[in-house]
Chains A and B, each alone.
Chain A
């Protein structure tokens, strides 16, 4: 239908072409600018490889701990009706809406070494500023709404009567959550985990405020660009995009459910 010889369709297809070009051209240009030899050379740089390792690890840590808090809460929200529900949903979306540097500043106000929470964490041996823990917190702060929203939608799609049926058949509420609700919502939750991980590892604005050092790859790209210019930053950018692609395609393949359990 899209390619029917209809002038409106043709016009929309033309607009779509411009849109796709806008998305693909800069990435393609970047990949073409970086030769395989240059990519290899960039990858061999220990600072680069360390930053990639840090970005991936902290994104995974942020996703894991956020999941423990956000996924059960998403279920609770999906099952609750209360007057201020829209307000709570809006609050959760807030970190996505505000400039990420501002999010970083807001976060810094709470976790800096002089703050009550910062001191409390410091007494427990956890420091955030210029530490991997701070990077994970910054990543989690700005990317957890993706996980929450995907999980919320997935749980909303699980029929309430299915959970009622499980309760009725003698399963306790916690068993119903782990054996019925979560498996039925798993595909959506998994998408949320992947989106959060992806958004987290690419985070720049909030991370640079909390931890300029140690370098995550987005901060390193910025640092190299500032110090050595565009050409130097292109290699590492291309390499990170390539790694992101490999990671996501890999994750999608590994975690692809054999069938849609909710049909």
Chain B
């Protein structure tokens, strides 16, 4: 378990912390924040590339701040894979094992096993310069795992990759986490946090302002900053089902069937429903919207522009409506309303 207490670092013009953080064994903790918020700095402090001004960092009870960076035993994967260009892929993967007492024979065996795990066996003799972005990131992951870390830190590992490669690397991260590897992952990408995290933290100006399970943090943002950063609040983990003879699919949540367009081959993922595209009405109308439900208003909250209305339709969803509409319809809590949205308002994020 990684435990951070009162961690602080001061620079001229920027101060980081105090940060308190606990990451349990086996969790995938995603720290979400805009650039310049201090999330990469946190990783550098944990790795020992930066010296903390104050505070404690311990990993499984060992005080990390007393150890030099090369003895901390935490692997790190960088945004752009920091592969050693003068070494082959195999030598890159073997690098962390060379610093230990592992025999040459064992190093070769582990290198090959890791190469198999990440489907990079044909690349072992190649130089990093000849690899594609996705291949390089897989080598980088394999190299990090070769040191058998108890924690792996990921610094925006997907952001330099194109969409297809992101899916591939994301699957590796999910399966590594499933196998029990603890992860601390920083990103500015809300969707990445949504797809991968078991726990999330939101960082702003060097301070973690909210932390918890993603469904709690994203549905109950503690501040306007968190709400804005996390964007869409209507998200649900789903399994898609095909509709016979139709290109549309169905996502079932708590007995509700939400229809959507999706050409994804994967069936596991999240759906996001755009708050701005949800229509509320006091009566059920015939319309072109294929998703029609009825529910009760739970609450509504004033937003910088318009209002956010929370409705219970079997699941809690949020709709964004103008002040004018709110007054005209005299919406209030406990009121029964019809909720409609088109297929195109629903987006599927595959895992």
**Chain A residues packing against B (C-beta within 8 Å):** 159, 161-162, 164-173, 175-176, 180, 183-184, 186, 259, 261-263
Contact = CB atoms under 8 A, between A and B. Distances in A.
Interface in B26-76: 44, 47-49, 68-76
26 contacts: A159-B82, A161-B82, A162-B82, A164-B69, A164-B76, A165-B76, A165-B78, A167-B48, A167-B49, A167-B69, A168-B47, A168-B70, A169-B75, A169-B96, A169-B99, A169-B146, A170-B96, A170-B147, A171-B96, A173-B68, A173-B70, A183-B86, A259-B127, A262-B85, A263-B85, A263-B129
Contact of B82 (A164, A172, A183, A263): A164
Contacts, number: 72
Given A172-B70, A262-B85, A166 B75 contact: no
A162 B85 CA distance: 9
**Which secondary structure characterizes the binding site on chain A?**
helix
Given A165-B76, A168-B70, A184 B86 contact: yes
Contacts of A165: 76, 78, 82-84
Nearest to A175: B99
A263 B78 CA distance: 19
Contacts of A261: 85-86
A164 B68 CA distance: 12
A133 B143 CA distance: 48
A162 B84 contact: yes
Contacts of B127: 259
A170 B82 contact: no
Interface residues of B, number: 31
B160 to A, nearest CB: 13
Interface string B197-241: 000000000000000000000000000000000000000000000
A155 to B, nearest CB: 14
B70 A171 contact: yes
Nearest to B144: A169
B85 A184 contact: yes
Contacts of A184: 84-86
A259 B144 CA distance: 26
- Of the listed residues B76, B82, B98, the one surrounded by the most CB atoms of chain A closer than 10 A to its CB is B82
A56 B48 CA distance: 46
A168 B85 contact: no
Interface string B74-103: 111010101111100000000110111000
Contact of A171 (B44, B74, B86, B95): B95
Given A164-B49, A184-B85, A169 B129 contact: no
Interface of B: 44, 47-49, 68-76, 78, 80, 82-86, 95-96, 98-100, 127, 129, 143-144, 146-147
Contacts of B98: 171
A170 B70 contact: yes
A183 B69 CA distance: 21
B82 A171 contact: no
A180 B69 contact: no
Contacts of A172: 68, 70, 99
B148 to A, nearest CB: 10
Considering the complex of A and B, which 9 residue pairs feature the smallest CB-CB distances, nearest first? A165-B82, A170-B99, A169-B96, A261-B86, A167-B69, A263-B129, A161-B82, A183-B86, A168-B76
A224 B52 CA distance: 66
A179 to B, nearest CB: 8
Contacts of B76: 164-165, 168
B95 A169 contact: yes
A165 B153 CA distance: 12
Contact of A169 (B68, B85, B143): B143
Given A171-B95, A171-B99, A173-B70, A166 B78 contact: no
A263 B72 CA distance: 31
A161 B40 CA distance: 12
A166 B95 contact: yes
A159 B84 CA distance: 10
Given A261-B86, A262-B85, A168 B99 contact: no
Nearest to B155: A161
Given A168-B69, A170-B73, A171-B96, 12 more contacts: A166-B95, A167-B49, A167-B69, A168-B70, A169-B70, A169-B95, A169-B147, A171-B70, A176-B70, A180-B84, A184-B84, A186-B86
B82 A167 contact: no
A166 B84 contact: yes
Contact of B70 (A161, A167, A186): A167
Contacts of B144: 169
Contacts of B47: 164, 167-168
Most buried by A among B70, B72, B76: B70
Nearest to B69: A167
A168 B95 contact: no
A176 to B, nearest CB: 8
Given A165-B76, A165-B78, A184-B86, A170 B100 contact: yes
